Amino acid sequence: MDDLTLIQRIAVWALPVLFAITVHEVAHGWVANKLGDPTAMMLGRLTLNPLKHIDPIGTIAVPLVLLLLGGFIFGWAKPVPVTWENLHKPKRDMALVAVAGPLSNLLMGIAWAFVMKLGFSLGESLPALAWPLIYMGGAGISINVILCLLNLLPIPPLDGGRVLSGILPGPLSWRLNQLEPYGLFILLGLLVTGLLNTILGPPMSIMQMALFRIAGLG
């Protein structure tokens, strides 16, 4: 995408980023509702309307700055509230609610891979439509792979931390949850030191190649 102007890059990334972040949060709320907690539904958060989920910093500012800097792009939306006491089996169900977000990103990554394939299939017959689909499909794959793997890191309050907390025995789960106030600082430390790219780089490449193969792109 280096051949695109800044405005073109923003146009290519805007829809995939909004969908990736919005659907991720809706997935949390939808699963929570199915497992007994209607909090997100009652607050009107089970909607694909991005205005209900946008966080000015995480949904707009951070992805835009990362796009300008040329690094890998990620972001976040306002977290969907979950009242764990309402869940049928709170410890187990919180893990299921958590894993729903990354799973939704995986499914969206597959969908964007087929969008990219559609762009290639149009080829030279409709280049004005083909190239936007190819670029947007690539952006959709990238942002969803990043969000899927990033959120699976076993660091509270990331989804991976919630899943691990639901699996661990009570005392270990409690100790893990004590890290939650420091989770953002741990993540920033990994990002600044370059360890985050070292950790996520190989699985990102593997997952992207797997999505290409699923869509018949490689």
The 10s digit of each residue's pLDDT in 40-87 is 999 999 999 988 898 888 888 888 887 787 767 777 889 999 998 999
Peptide bond into 157 cis (omega under 30): yes
The answer to whether residue 111 sits within a structural domain is yes
Does residue 16 fall inside a structural domain? Answer: yes
pLDDT tens for each residue of 141-188: 999 999 999 999 999 999 999 999 999 998 999 999 999 999 989 988
Residue 35 placed within a domain: yes
For position 2, what pLDDT does the model report?
66
Asked, for residue 205, whether it belongs to a domain, the answer is yes
Supply the pTM of this predicted model: 0.91
Q: Is residue 1 part of a domain?
A: no
* Span 88-103, average pLDDT: 95
Give catalytic status of residue 25 as yes or no.
Answer: yes
What is the rounded CA–CA span in Å between residue 68 and residue 76? 18
* Whether pLDDT at 9 is above 70: yes
Asked whether residue 201 is assigned to any structural domain, the reply reads: yes
Give pLDDT, residue 132: 92
Q: How many domains does the chain have?
A: 1
The token pair at 126 is: 């409709």
Tell me what pLDDT residue 111 has.
97
Q: How many Cα atoms are found within 13 Å in the side-chain-facing hemisphere of 73?
A: 28
Burial of 47 (0-12, 13-18, 19+ CB in 10 A): middle
Tens of pLDDT along 118-146?
999 998 788 889 999 999 999 999 999 99
Could you say which of 25, 85, 124, 180 is catalytic?
Answer: 25
